[in-house]
């Protein structure tokens, strides 16, 4: 799979999850994909939320692992 294809699929998953984050005053931005590791930045209320790690691991990472072949991990960058 090309990097562009993977990036497109990751963006598609993030776009599906975005309304839930926006509802809580936050958002997510794709920063980079490197060797199967998707790097995202949480913004708005999500960036300072104490539950953001749980949101990342339980929600976003699970969706990416299920829907995008080649994704191995999700990493938050600041």
Fold of 3-76: GMP Synthetase; Chain A, domain 3 (3.30.300)
Q: What is the pLDDT of residue 24?
A: 86
Q: Classify each residue of 8-29 as buried b or exposed e, where b means 16 or more C-beta atoms within 10 Å of its C-beta.
A: ebbeebbeeeeeebeeeebbbe
pLDDT score of 51: 80
Q: pLDDT tens for residues 24-65?
A: 899 999 999 999 999 999 988 877 878 887 877 788 999 999
Domain residue ranges in the chain: 3-76
Per-residue pLDDT at 30: 97
pLDDT of residue 46: 77
pTM of the complete model: 0.89
């Amino acid at each position: 799979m090309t990097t562009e294809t993977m990036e497109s699929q990751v963006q598609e998953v993030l776009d599906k999850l975005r309304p839930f984050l926006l509802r809580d005053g936050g958002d997510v931005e794709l920063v980079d994909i490197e060797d199967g590791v998707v790097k995202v930045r949480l913004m708005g209320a999500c960036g300072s939320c104490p539950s953001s790690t749980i949101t990342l691991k339980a929600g976003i990472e699970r969706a990416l692992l299920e829907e995008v072949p080649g994704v191995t991990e999700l990493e938050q960058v600041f």
